[in-house]
Structure 1
Amino acid sequence: MSTDSVPAHLGTRVPGQAVIEELLALQSQVPPRSRLQRIFGVSPLSAESSSWYLGAIGEIVVGEILENLGPEWRVLHAVPVGAGSSDIDHVLIGPAGVFTINTKNHSGQPVWVAGRTLMVAGRKTRHLYNAAHEAARASKLLTAAAGFPVNVTAVVVIVEPKTLTIKACPEQAVVVTDAQLPR
Protein backbone atom coordinates (compact mmCIF):
# COMPACT_ATOMS: atom_id res chain seq x y z
CA MET A 1 0.00 0.00 0.00
CA SER A 2 1.46 3.35 -0.98
CA THR A 3 1.72 5.94 1.77
CA ASP A 4 1.17 8.61 -0.89
CA SER A 5 -2.52 7.71 -0.91
CA VAL A 6 -3.01 8.96 2.67
CA PRO A 7 -5.62 11.76 2.79
CA ALA A 8 -3.82 15.12 2.93
CA HIS A 9 -5.58 16.33 6.08
CA LEU A 10 -4.16 13.40 8.06
CA GLY A 11 -0.61 14.38 7.15
CA THR A 12 -1.04 17.85 8.66
CA ARG A 13 -2.03 16.75 12.16
CA VAL A 14 0.58 17.20 14.87
CA PRO A 15 1.48 14.84 17.73
CA GLY A 16 -1.04 15.19 20.53
CA GLN A 17 -3.41 17.36 18.49
CA ALA A 18 -6.64 15.79 19.77
CA VAL A 19 -5.35 15.75 23.35
CA ILE A 20 -4.25 19.38 23.13
CA GLU A 21 -7.66 20.39 21.76
CA GLU A 22 -9.37 18.64 24.70
CA LEU A 23 -6.91 20.20 27.16
CA LEU A 24 -7.60 23.69 25.82
CA ALA A 25 -11.36 23.15 25.96
CA LEU A 26 -11.17 21.98 29.57
CA GLN A 27 -8.74 24.68 30.61
CA SER A 28 -10.91 27.43 29.10
CA GLN A 29 -13.46 26.64 31.85
CA VAL A 30 -10.91 27.16 34.65
CA PRO A 31 -10.84 30.57 36.35
CA PRO A 32 -7.46 32.35 36.35
CA ARG A 33 -5.23 31.95 39.38
CA SER A 34 -5.24 34.67 41.98
CA ARG A 35 -2.13 36.73 42.52
CA LEU A 36 -1.43 34.83 45.72
CA GLN A 37 -1.77 31.49 43.91
CA ARG A 38 0.68 32.66 41.25
CA ILE A 39 3.16 33.85 43.92
CA PHE A 40 3.05 30.46 45.63
CA GLY A 41 3.38 28.58 42.35
CA VAL A 42 -0.05 26.95 42.24
CA SER A 43 -0.43 25.18 38.90
CA PRO A 44 -2.68 26.95 36.40
CA LEU A 45 -4.00 23.52 35.36
CA SER A 46 -7.11 22.05 36.94
CA ALA A 47 -6.91 18.51 38.29
CA GLU A 48 -8.80 17.29 35.21
CA SER A 49 -6.61 19.27 32.79
CA SER A 50 -3.39 18.00 34.35
CA SER A 51 -3.75 14.43 33.02
CA TRP A 52 -4.55 15.77 29.53
CA TYR A 53 -1.43 17.96 29.72
CA LEU A 54 0.77 14.96 30.61
CA GLY A 55 -0.83 12.98 27.78
CA ALA A 56 -0.04 15.76 25.31
CA ILE A 57 3.58 15.91 26.48
CA GLY A 58 3.89 12.13 26.06
CA GLU A 59 2.46 12.20 22.54
CA ILE A 60 4.79 15.05 21.55
CA VAL A 61 7.83 13.14 22.89
CA VAL A 62 6.87 9.97 20.98
CA GLY A 63 5.98 11.99 17.86
CA GLU A 64 9.47 13.51 17.79
CA ILE A 65 11.06 10.05 18.07
CA LEU A 66 8.91 8.71 15.23
CA GLU A 67 9.65 11.68 12.97
CA ASN A 68 13.35 10.82 13.21
CA LEU A 69 13.03 7.21 12.03
CA GLY A 70 13.98 8.03 8.45
CA PRO A 71 12.44 8.68 5.05
CA GLU A 72 11.27 5.09 4.53
CA TRP A 73 8.75 5.56 7.35
CA ARG A 74 5.46 7.46 7.12
CA VAL A 75 4.06 8.76 10.41
CA LEU A 76 0.52 10.00 10.97
CA HIS A 77 -0.40 11.67 14.25
CA ALA A 78 -3.73 11.98 16.06
CA VAL A 79 -5.61 9.95 13.46
CA PRO A 80 -9.35 10.46 14.09
CA VAL A 81 -11.47 7.32 14.43
CA GLY A 82 -15.13 6.98 15.23
CA ALA A 83 -17.26 9.71 16.71
CA GLY A 84 -16.13 12.53 18.95
CA SER A 85 -12.51 13.13 19.80
CA SER A 86 -11.36 9.48 19.61
CA ASP A 87 -8.06 9.07 17.82
CA ILE A 88 -5.10 6.79 17.34
CA ASP A 89 -2.08 8.59 18.78
CA HIS A 90 0.25 7.59 15.95
CA VAL A 91 0.11 5.31 12.91
CA LEU A 92 3.49 4.19 11.62
CA ILE A 93 3.90 2.69 8.13
CA GLY A 94 7.22 1.40 6.87
CA PRO A 95 9.45 -1.52 5.94
CA ALA A 96 8.63 -3.50 9.11
CA GLY A 97 4.87 -3.12 8.66
CA VAL A 98 2.00 -1.02 9.97
CA PHE A 99 1.80 -0.08 13.64
CA THR A 100 -0.71 1.76 15.78
CA ILE A 101 1.00 3.43 18.70
CA ASN A 102 -0.81 4.19 21.92
CA THR A 103 1.23 6.61 24.04
CA LYS A 104 0.98 6.60 27.83
CA ASN A 105 2.85 9.14 29.93
CA HIS A 106 3.57 7.39 33.22
CA SER A 107 6.69 9.40 34.07
CA GLY A 108 8.41 8.22 37.22
CA GLN A 109 5.93 5.39 37.90
CA PRO A 110 6.66 1.66 37.95
CA VAL A 111 5.00 -0.29 35.13
CA TRP A 112 4.52 -4.06 35.23
CA VAL A 113 3.38 -6.24 32.31
CA ALA A 114 2.43 -9.91 32.00
CA GLY A 115 0.11 -11.54 29.46
CA ARG A 116 -3.07 -9.45 29.29
CA THR A 117 -2.22 -7.25 32.29
CA LEU A 118 -0.45 -3.91 32.40
CA MET A 119 -0.26 -2.25 35.80
CA VAL A 120 0.92 1.25 36.64
CA ALA A 121 1.95 1.82 40.25
CA GLY A 122 0.09 -1.38 41.20
CA ARG A 123 -3.18 -0.45 39.44
CA LYS A 124 -4.53 -2.40 36.46
CA THR A 125 -5.08 -0.44 33.27
CA ARG A 126 -6.87 -1.10 29.97
CA HIS A 127 -3.85 -0.01 27.92
CA LEU A 128 -3.26 -3.40 26.27
CA TYR A 129 -6.91 -3.96 25.44
CA ASN A 130 -7.31 -0.43 24.05
CA ALA A 131 -4.14 -0.71 21.94
CA ALA A 132 -5.28 -4.07 20.51
CA HIS A 133 -8.71 -2.60 19.73
CA GLU A 134 -7.10 0.34 17.88
CA ALA A 135 -4.89 -1.99 15.84
CA ALA A 136 -7.82 -4.25 14.91
CA ARG A 137 -9.89 -1.23 13.88
CA ALA A 138 -7.04 0.18 11.77
CA SER A 139 -6.46 -3.23 10.16
CA LYS A 140 -10.12 -3.50 9.20
CA LEU A 141 -10.21 0.02 7.71
CA LEU A 142 -6.89 -0.37 5.86
CA THR A 143 -7.86 -3.81 4.52
CA ALA A 144 -11.11 -2.38 3.15
CA ALA A 145 -9.28 0.58 1.56
CA ALA A 146 -6.39 -1.46 0.13
CA GLY A 147 -8.41 -4.44 -1.09
CA PHE A 148 -6.01 -6.91 0.51
CA PRO A 149 -5.28 -7.93 4.13
CA VAL A 150 -3.28 -5.34 6.08
CA ASN A 151 -1.89 -6.60 9.36
CA VAL A 152 -1.43 -3.95 12.04
CA THR A 153 0.68 -4.37 15.17
CA ALA A 154 -0.47 -2.71 18.38
CA VAL A 155 2.24 -0.91 20.35
CA VAL A 156 1.99 0.73 23.77
CA VAL A 157 4.78 3.24 24.42
CA ILE A 158 5.30 4.13 28.08
CA VAL A 159 6.98 7.53 28.41
CA GLU A 160 9.75 7.75 31.03
CA PRO A 161 8.56 5.10 33.48
CA LYS A 162 10.47 4.62 36.72
CA THR A 163 10.77 0.97 35.71
CA LEU A 164 9.26 -1.30 33.09
CA THR A 165 9.07 -4.92 34.22
CA ILE A 166 7.87 -7.44 31.66
CA LYS A 167 7.20 -10.68 33.55
CA ALA A 168 5.58 -12.44 30.59
CA CYS A 169 5.26 -11.37 26.98
CA PRO A 170 2.18 -9.17 26.56
CA GLU A 171 -0.50 -10.93 24.50
CA GLN A 172 -2.32 -8.01 22.93
CA ALA A 173 0.38 -5.45 22.13
CA VAL A 174 4.09 -4.80 22.10
CA VAL A 175 5.10 -2.72 25.14
CA VAL A 176 8.19 -0.50 25.06
CA THR A 177 9.46 2.67 26.69
CA ASP A 178 10.08 5.82 24.71
CA ALA A 179 13.83 5.14 24.99
CA GLN A 180 13.35 1.66 23.44
CA LEU A 181 11.05 2.79 20.65
CA PRO A 182 13.64 3.61 17.94
CA ARG A 183 14.94 0.01 18.12
Structure 2
Amino acid sequence: MKWIAGVDEVGRGPLAGAVVTAAVILDPNHPIDGLNDSKKLSAKQREKLVIEIEQKALAFAYGRAEVEEIDQINILQASLLAMKRAVESLPIAAHEAWVDGNKAPSLSIPVRTFIKGDATVPAIAAASILAKVARDSEMLRLHQQYPDYGFDKHKGYPTAAHVAALQKFGPCPLHRRSFGPVQATLSFA
Protein backbone atom coordinates (compact mmCIF):
# COMPACT_ATOMS: atom_id res chain seq x y z
CA MET A 1 0.00 0.00 0.00
CA LYS A 2 1.24 3.48 -0.86
CA TRP A 3 0.65 5.99 1.94
CA ILE A 4 -0.13 9.50 0.73
CA ALA A 5 -0.06 12.36 3.22
CA GLY A 6 -2.33 15.31 2.52
CA VAL A 7 -0.73 18.53 3.76
CA ASP A 8 -2.10 22.04 4.28
CA GLU A 9 -1.39 25.16 6.27
CA VAL A 10 -3.50 27.73 8.06
CA GLY A 11 -2.34 31.15 9.03
CA ARG A 12 -0.32 32.68 6.21
CA GLY A 13 -2.42 35.85 6.13
CA PRO A 14 -2.77 36.82 9.80
CA LEU A 15 -0.77 39.58 11.43
CA ALA A 16 -0.30 37.52 14.59
CA GLY A 17 0.34 33.98 15.74
CA ALA A 18 2.12 30.94 14.36
CA VAL A 19 1.47 29.32 11.01
CA VAL A 20 0.04 25.84 11.69
CA THR A 21 0.10 22.86 9.36
CA ALA A 22 -1.22 19.33 9.41
CA ALA A 23 -0.40 16.16 7.52
CA VAL A 24 -2.98 13.39 7.26
CA ILE A 25 -2.85 9.86 5.86
CA LEU A 26 -6.44 8.75 5.35
CA ASP A 27 -7.52 5.12 5.65
CA PRO A 28 -9.13 4.03 2.35
CA ASN A 29 -11.18 1.49 4.33
CA HIS A 30 -12.72 4.22 6.52
CA PRO A 31 -13.86 7.10 4.30
CA ILE A 32 -14.94 10.36 5.91
CA ASP A 33 -17.98 12.18 4.51
CA GLY A 34 -18.07 15.96 4.36
CA LEU A 35 -14.36 16.69 3.91
CA ASN A 36 -13.87 20.07 2.25
CA ASP A 37 -11.75 23.20 2.38
CA SER A 38 -11.88 24.23 6.04
CA LYS A 39 -12.89 27.78 5.02
CA LYS A 40 -16.07 26.39 3.42
CA LEU A 41 -17.20 24.63 6.60
CA SER A 42 -18.76 26.08 9.73
CA ALA A 43 -16.85 25.92 13.01
CA LYS A 44 -19.33 23.29 14.21
CA GLN A 45 -18.78 21.15 11.08
CA ARG A 46 -14.99 21.44 11.49
CA GLU A 47 -15.12 20.43 15.17
CA LYS A 48 -17.19 17.34 14.30
CA LEU A 49 -14.87 16.39 11.43
CA VAL A 50 -11.72 16.75 13.57
CA ILE A 51 -13.01 14.02 15.88
CA GLU A 52 -13.80 11.77 12.92
CA ILE A 53 -10.44 12.45 11.22
CA GLU A 54 -8.55 11.69 14.44
CA GLN A 55 -10.52 8.44 14.86
CA LYS A 56 -10.43 7.18 11.25
CA ALA A 57 -7.15 8.43 9.75
CA LEU A 58 -4.22 6.04 9.64
CA ALA A 59 -1.98 8.86 10.86
CA PHE A 60 -1.94 12.61 11.40
CA ALA A 61 0.55 15.13 12.73
CA TYR A 62 0.91 18.85 13.19
CA GLY A 63 3.70 21.24 12.33
CA ARG A 64 4.18 24.91 13.03
CA ALA A 65 6.47 27.85 12.56
CA GLU A 66 6.55 30.48 15.25
CA VAL A 67 6.28 34.25 14.86
CA GLU A 68 10.06 34.67 15.23
CA GLU A 69 10.65 32.18 12.41
CA ILE A 70 8.08 33.90 10.20
CA ASP A 71 9.80 37.24 10.76
CA GLN A 72 13.22 35.72 10.13
CA ILE A 73 12.64 33.63 6.97
CA ASN A 74 9.32 35.08 5.61
CA ILE A 75 5.83 33.61 5.72
CA LEU A 76 6.15 31.39 2.63
CA GLN A 77 9.37 29.74 3.85
CA ALA A 78 7.92 29.42 7.36
CA SER A 79 4.80 27.72 5.92
CA LEU A 80 6.94 25.26 3.96
CA LEU A 81 9.07 24.59 7.06
CA ALA A 82 5.92 23.92 9.12
CA MET A 83 4.66 21.52 6.41
CA LYS A 84 7.98 19.67 6.48
CA ARG A 85 7.72 19.39 10.27
CA ALA A 86 4.18 17.97 10.02
CA VAL A 87 5.12 15.33 7.43
CA GLU A 88 8.26 14.35 9.35
CA SER A 89 6.21 13.99 12.56
CA LEU A 90 3.78 11.45 11.11
CA PRO A 91 3.85 8.20 13.13
CA ILE A 92 3.65 6.27 9.82
CA ALA A 93 6.09 7.25 7.07
CA ALA A 94 4.30 8.57 4.00
CA HIS A 95 5.47 7.47 0.55
CA GLU A 96 4.34 10.75 -1.04
CA ALA A 97 3.01 14.13 0.07
CA TRP A 98 0.20 15.97 -1.66
CA VAL A 99 0.27 19.65 -0.76
CA ASP A 100 -2.32 22.38 -1.18
CA GLY A 101 -1.11 25.26 -3.36
CA ASN A 102 1.67 25.60 -5.89
CA LYS A 103 4.74 25.57 -3.62
CA ALA A 104 6.22 22.37 -2.23
CA PRO A 105 8.22 21.86 0.96
CA SER A 106 11.58 20.16 0.62
CA LEU A 107 10.99 16.55 1.68
CA SER A 108 12.80 13.24 1.29
CA ILE A 109 9.70 11.80 -0.44
CA PRO A 110 8.02 12.87 -3.71
CA VAL A 111 5.72 15.88 -3.41
CA ARG A 112 2.81 16.90 -5.65
CA THR A 113 1.11 20.27 -5.41
CA PHE A 114 -2.58 20.85 -6.02
CA ILE A 115 -4.06 24.31 -6.48
CA LYS A 116 -7.31 24.32 -4.49
CA GLY A 117 -6.35 20.86 -3.23
CA ASP A 118 -8.12 21.56 0.06
CA ALA A 119 -11.42 21.51 -1.88
CA THR A 120 -10.63 18.60 -4.22
CA VAL A 121 -8.29 16.13 -2.47
CA PRO A 122 -9.79 14.48 0.64
CA ALA A 123 -6.46 14.04 2.49
CA ILE A 124 -5.57 17.71 1.92
CA ALA A 125 -9.06 18.75 3.05
CA ALA A 126 -8.59 16.70 6.23
CA ALA A 127 -5.25 18.42 6.86
CA SER A 128 -6.86 21.80 6.24
CA ILE A 129 -9.55 21.06 8.84
CA LEU A 130 -7.09 19.83 11.49
CA ALA A 131 -4.79 22.82 10.99
CA LYS A 132 -7.66 25.34 11.07
CA VAL A 133 -9.22 23.96 14.24
CA ALA A 134 -5.81 23.77 15.97
CA ARG A 135 -4.85 27.33 15.04
CA ASP A 136 -8.26 28.81 15.86
CA SER A 137 -8.23 27.06 19.27
CA GLU A 138 -4.78 28.42 19.95
CA MET A 139 -5.84 31.98 19.06
CA LEU A 140 -8.85 31.65 21.38
CA ARG A 141 -6.49 30.63 24.22
CA LEU A 142 -4.09 33.48 23.38
CA HIS A 143 -7.00 35.93 23.50
CA GLN A 144 -7.11 35.30 27.26
CA GLN A 145 -3.50 36.51 27.49
CA TYR A 146 -3.92 39.47 25.10
CA PRO A 147 -7.62 40.47 25.24
CA ASP A 148 -7.10 43.97 23.78
CA TYR A 149 -6.64 42.67 20.23
CA GLY A 150 -9.81 40.59 19.71
CA PHE A 151 -8.03 37.38 18.68
CA ASP A 152 -11.20 35.48 19.70
CA LYS A 153 -13.04 37.14 16.81
CA HIS A 154 -10.55 37.52 13.93
CA LYS A 155 -7.91 34.90 14.92
CA GLY A 156 -5.13 37.37 14.05
CA TYR A 157 -6.31 38.24 10.54
CA PRO A 158 -6.03 41.91 9.47
CA THR A 159 -9.61 43.05 10.11
CA ALA A 160 -10.39 46.73 10.64
CA ALA A 161 -10.88 46.05 14.37
CA HIS A 162 -7.51 44.28 14.62
CA VAL A 163 -5.66 47.08 12.80
CA ALA A 164 -7.39 49.66 15.02
CA ALA A 165 -6.31 47.73 18.16
CA LEU A 166 -2.75 47.55 16.81
CA GLN A 167 -2.74 51.31 16.26
CA LYS A 168 -4.12 51.91 19.74
CA PHE A 169 -2.01 49.44 21.75
CA GLY A 170 0.97 48.71 19.50
CA PRO A 171 2.02 45.11 18.80
CA CYS A 172 2.10 42.35 21.40
CA PRO A 173 4.64 39.47 21.33
CA LEU A 174 2.31 37.48 19.03
CA HIS A 175 2.48 40.03 16.22
CA ARG A 176 4.55 39.39 13.12
CA ARG A 177 6.86 42.38 12.95
CA SER A 178 7.76 41.72 9.30
CA PHE A 179 4.15 42.36 8.21
CA GLY A 180 3.41 45.91 6.99
CA PRO A 181 0.45 46.79 9.25
CA VAL A 182 2.48 45.69 12.30
CA GLN A 183 5.64 47.52 11.16
CA ALA A 184 3.57 50.69 10.84
CA THR A 185 2.78 50.54 14.57
CA LEU A 186 6.22 49.67 15.93
CA SER A 187 6.85 53.23 17.06
CA PHE A 188 4.00 52.74 19.54
CA ALA A 189 5.56 49.68 21.17
TM-score with structure 2 setting the length = 0.25
**Larger RCO (CA under 8 A, 6+ residues apart):** 2
Name the structure with the higher helix share.
2
Of structures 1 and 2, the larger Rg is shown by 1
